[in-house]
Chain A
Amino acid sequence: MEGGYSPGRFGRALGWATALYLVLPLFIILPVSMTDQRFLSLPHEGLSLRHYAALFASGEWFASIAQSFWIACASTILAVSAGTLFAIAAWRINRRATELLRALMLLPLIVPSIVYAIGLYRYFGWWDLLDRFAGVVIAHGVTGIPYVVITVSTALASFDVRLEQAARGMGASLRQVLAWVILPRIMPGIVSGAIFAFIHSWDELVIVLFIASRDVFTLPRRIWDGINENQDPIMAAVAMLLIVFTTLLLVVDLAVRRRRDG
C-alpha cells in the first residue's frame, strides 16, 4: 500500500509470528521425512531417502494414490461440467430465482461434511453405492460443484456483456458466442474451479470414512489409519509429496489467474 503508512512494530511482529505459525509446521515435515531413523524424528546422522523409496515400493500406498487420483479426476469432470453450465446459465438468466439456486449450490461449503456423510451412509445403502468407486465419485463431484460455480461466476462477473452483444450483433449464433467468446474468456475461471474441485476430492476424508471401507481405500483414508496407528516415517514422506503436489497445483492456478488479469 502506498501513501507512507506502515504497520507499527507490534502489528508487524504479530503478523510475522502468524505467518511462521502457518508455514513452519509444514516445513518441519521435510527433514522428518528424510530421517535416517526408523521412527518419526529429525535426522540424527544424515539425510536418507529410504522412506521415499519404501513409499514407492509399497503396493498399498501406491494403490491408494492411484485410486485417489482417478476418483479426483472423475469427480472433477463431474463438478466442472455441471458447475460451469450452471454458472453460465445463472449469469445469463440473472433473475431472483437463479440467485436462490446459486445459494443452494453453495450449501456443500456450509453444511459440515459429517452431516452429509452420515446421510449418505444410509442413502447410498439403498442405491447400493457403498464402498463403490462410483459412489465416492458422485459424493465428491457433488460437493465439488460449489468451487466451480464460485470461480466461474467470478470470471463471468468481470466478463463484459457488451462482448457478447458485439458478437451477436455481428451475426454470431448462441453456440458461436459460447465457443468463441464466452468460454475462451472464462477459461481461467474454469481451470481454477477444476483445480479446487480436484484438491477437494483428493483431500476429502470425512465422507470416505462413512461410504467406503475396503474396496475403495483412498489416500487420505490410508493416512488417517497411519496417523492413528503407527509412527512410521513413511507418513512424513507421503505428507511431503502431498504438500509438493498441492503447492504445484496452486502455482498453476496463480499462473492461470495472472494470465487472466494481465
Chain B
Amino acid sequence: MSAALELRGLAKRYGSFVAVEGADLAVERGSFLTLLGPSGSGKTTILMMIAGFTEPSAGQLLLDGQDITALPPEKRAFGMVFQGYALFPHMSVAENIAFPLRVRGQGRAERDEKLRAALDLVQLTGFADRLPKQLSGGQQQRVALARALVFDPALLLLDEPLSALDKKLRAELQEELRALHRRVGRTFINVTHDQEEALSLSDEVAILNHGRIIQKGAPAALYERPRSRFVADFLGKSNFFQGVVRELGGGWLGVQVAGLRLRQVVDGPRPGLGAAVLLSLRPEKIAALGAEESADNIVEGVISAWSYLGAGFSLAVETALGVLRVHLPAWRAPFVPEIGAALRLGWAADAPTLVDDDDAA
C-alpha cells in the first residue's frame, strides 16, 4: 500500500507556544485514520494544516508524493466536514451540496446528476429543497458529508463530525460513517476527542498529547498494548503499578510491587534486573477468584466502593497494591457486592502491559 498523504516534521508555533511539534505521519490510501487527543493536544491544528487553513511553521505535506505545503486551501480542495457542519444557512440542501460544483463552473446537467448521486449516497433524496435549519442534527451531518464528497476529493477531512449529536444518534451515525467509508473507498481523516468513536470508526488511530503524536496503530493494538501511561489512561481506564524488576525468567519477569511479587510476561525488549517499571492493568482483565481457583497473580482485598453498570459491576478494591479498579461482568460476579466484603482477585501474567511513565495524564 502507498501513502496517500504524508506529514514530514509538520510543526506549528504561535510565538513561543508550540501547538504541534514535528508531526510525522503517513496515511494509507483508502484508510480511515483518526487523530485522537484531549483538547489542546494539537489534533485540530494538524487537520487545519492538512486542509490548508493554517500555515505550518515548519515541515512538509505530501499528497501522492507531491509537495502541497504552499498550496492555498481552494487549490487543495479536500472534502471537509466541519465541526457544527458549516452549512450555508441561506442555501437549500441542494444548493449546499452543489456549491463545490458551482465553484468549478460545471454545467447544469452534470451538476444535477452528481447532486442526485450525492443525495442518494446519504439517503436524503426528497430533502433537496429544505433549508439547513429545517433539518435534524443527523440530517445536517449527512448534508455536510454529501457536500464534502460530491466533487470526488482525494481526501475527506472530518473535524469532530459527531460531537454535536446526542449519544444514541452518535452510535447510529458511527455505523453509517463506517459504511460510507467502505462504499466510497476514499481516504478519511477524522479528528475527535471521543475515544470510543475513534476505536469503533478507524482503521488506524494516532494519539496526540501536548502537540506530539504519541502512538499510532490499529485500535485493538492501541488498546491492548499501550506504550505509555497517557495512552493507557486516555483509551479506557487502567490500574497502574510502580515496581522494580527482581527476577528474570524465560519470557517473563518477576516484578516487586509494594511487598508483592508479580509475574509479568514480556514480549518486547526486557528491562534489566533492578530496573523501575510501570505496569498498566485494565479493570476488565481482573477476575474475582473462588476459594479453589488459581491465577498467575493473586491479591487479597476488601471492597471499598461499588456501582452497578447494567452490564456489570465496577468495584474499588483496597489491596496491598493500593485501590484497584475492577470491572466484573454481571454474569460472572459470584455475589452482589457489599462494602467491606473480602475478595480474592487474580489476573494472568500477560494481562498487564509494561508502559513508559510519561506522567502526562
- A residues near B (Cβ < 8 Å) are 160, 162-163, 165-173, 176, 180-181, 184-185
Contact = CB atoms under 8 A, between A and B. Distances in A.
B74 interface: yes
Contact of B83 (A162, A167, A172, A176): A162
A171 B82 CA distance: 15
Nearest to A173: B74
Contact of B104 (A171, A180, A184, A185): A171
B77 interface: yes
16 contacts: A162-B83, A162-B86, A163-B88, A165-B53, A166-B86, A168-B53, A168-B72, A168-B73, A168-B74, A169-B52, A170-B147, A171-B103, A171-B151, A173-B74, A180-B99, A185-B89
A169 B78 CA distance: 6
Contacts of A169: 51-53, 73-74, 76-80
Contact of A170 (B72, B83, B89, B99): B99
Given A165-B73, A169-B51, A160 B86 contact: yes
A166 B103 contact: no
A171 B84 contact: no
Main secondary structure of the interface of A (DSSP, over half): helix
B99 A162 contact: no
Interface string B137-159: 00000000001100100000000
Interface residues of B, number: 27
Interface in B71-121: 72-80, 82-84, 86, 88-90, 99-100, 102-104
Contacts of B99: 167, 170, 172, 180
Given A162-B83, A166-B80, A166-B82, A171 B90 contact: no
Closest 9 CB pairs of A and B: A170-B100, A162-B86, A166-B86, A171-B77, A172-B103, A169-B80, A162-B82, A168-B74, A168-B73
A257 to B, nearest CB: 15
Contacts of B103: 167, 170-173, 176
A41 B350 CA distance: 102
Given A162-B83, A165-B53, A165-B73, A170 B151 contact: yes
B277 to A, nearest CB: 46
Query: Which has the most chain A C-beta neighbours within 10 Å: B74, B76, B77?
Result: B74
A185 B73 CA distance: 22
A67 B343 CA distance: 96
